[in-house]
Amino acid sequence: MRQGTEYEGDLERYLEPIRALPFVTALDWRVAPRGAGGRGIDAEIKITTPRRKFKLAAEFKRTYLDRTTLNALIAHQVQVREQLKMPLLLIARYIPAPMGERLAEAGINFVDGVGNLHLNLAGDYYVFTVGRKEIKPNVGERKITAAMVQAAFALLVDGNAVHWPVRKLAEVAGIGKTAAAEARQRLTETGVLHATATSLQIADWKALEEDFLGGYERVLRPELLMGRFRALERNPDTFLEKFQQWAGLNHVQWAVTGAPAAFRLQRFYRGAQIPVFVGGAPDRLARDLKLLPDKNGAVILLRKFGTLLPWRVERGLALAHPWLIYAELLHEGGARAIEAATEIREKFLLP
């Protein structure tokens, strides 16, 4: 969904189930400008009822929801309510019943392309309908690849990356030159990037963020995951100190992400998991640090990629970039992790 005629036409169609509700006497909307950085909203919706008028902040999702994007929405609604004084309305292609129930529990209104609906207008009116199935998914839609997500990450970290030669983008993102060229072409086709007569520009920062977060959950993280382990050293701080010493002795690049990294930055949420990006095979690391394979283990080893890791060293600990910390916290989920993700976003990622 994009600005312009097609974007507004989609908005009209998706809002029809709300317009058809018996207590809705009028429904108006205004598309918000996009592309200037920051998350913002996509549109402001005004619903008129016999009792009074209500305003909602609309958020579009172009792709199917996953756990990370759902948790990002839960985090985003706090910001919307505090800054705009409006409840959030999610407008999505399709919302399965379990996700609809989670959204409703979190207080998020929603409507999708098949008529699944949750609308709570300050307790005056309430509608909750889930379980309607999507008839025909868009099977022709090109699948996002790990390389595309890595390219999106590089663009989020440094907006100037849009002007880089393909060779440099490939090196920084940790992908091949062909994959980098295809990623730029794909982002241009979807309207995230805009080609002028002389160069490329990032036209839609919000869509770029959505592509990264959704792709991190569905594609990139599974691609990078080398395994989960249980450490004999149970104290997370002591374990990370030993990890740091091992990496230094063996000249291995690494960076901690998720909750441990967030705790070093904001001293708020420590978490139980220890996700770490690391270069090289995990076998030697597991042997030297006495890590035992465990599908529920706290130590999560992810393959390091590109040249953007580590981001910086904080109190002796190598940290991943805040975009990766943010994505990992949203992947973890849970109220405290989402709250920590919100703080990371507000302090390090907003313009």
pLDDT in tens, 232-251: 988 999 999 999 999 999 99
Q: What pLDDT does residue 4 have?
A: 40
- Is 117:127 a contact under the CB 8 Å cutoff? yes
**Helix, coil or strand: residue 75:** helix
- Mean pLDDT score, 268-286: 90
Nearest to 274 by CA among 292, 293, 297: 297
- Is 20:126 a contact under the CB 8 Å cutoff? no
Domain ranges of the chain: 5-129, 146-203, 226-349
Q: What pLDDT does residue 33 have?
A: 62
Cα 348-62-106 angle, rounded to 5 deg: 65
Task: Name the H helices within the chain.
Answer: 5-14, 16-19, 67-84, 97-105, 146-157, 166-173, 177-189, 205-215, 221-224, 236-250, 258-266, 282-288, 322-332, 335-344
Q: In percent, how much of the chain has pLDDT > 70? A: 93
Cα 259-231-315 angle, rounded to 5 deg: 45
Q: What is the mean pLDDT of the chain?
A: 89
Q: What pLDDT does residue 63 have?
A: 76
Q: What is the C-alpha to C-alpha distance for residues 208 and 158, in angstroms, rounded to an integer?
A: 12
- Is 303:281 a contact under the CB 8 Å cutoff? no
Give the bridge partners for 97, in sequence order: none
Q: What is the C-alpha to C-alpha distance for residues 298 and 229, in angstroms, rounded to an integer?
A: 6
Tokens of 179: 């994959």
* Residue 199 CA: distances (Å) to CA of 37, 46, 77: 19, 39, 35
Residue type, 176: G
> Could you identify the residue written with the tokens 């996509």?
42
The CATH-assigned architecture of domain 146-203 is Orthogonal Bundle (1.10)
Distance of CA 313 to the CA centre of its chain: 24
Q: How confident is the model at residue 141 (pLDDT cuts 50, 70, 90)?
A: low
- Is 230:285 a contact under the CB 8 Å cutoff? no
105 phi/psi in degrees, rounded to 5: -60, -35
Class of domain 5-129: alpha beta
Q: What pLDDT does residue 136 have?
A: 63
pLDDT > 80? residue 65: yes
Q: What pLDDT does residue 6 have?
A: 46
Q: What pLDDT does residue 34 have?
A: 54
- Is 50:25 a contact under the CB 8 Å cutoff? yes
Q: What pLDDT does residue 142 have?
A: 59
Q: What pLDDT does residue 282 have?
A: 79
Tokens of 91: 């407008």
How are strands ordered across the β-sheet holding 299-303? Answer: 291-293, 225-231, 299-303, 274-278, 254-256, 317-319, 312-314
* Residue 26 CA: distances (Å) to CA of 46, 47, 220: 8, 6, 43
Beta strands at 117-121 and 43-48: parallel, antiparallel or unpaired: unpaired
Q: Any idea of the CA torsion for 194, 68, 12, 81, to the nearest 10 degrees?
A: -110
Tokens of 15: 């809002």
- Is 51:24 a contact under the CB 8 Å cutoff? no
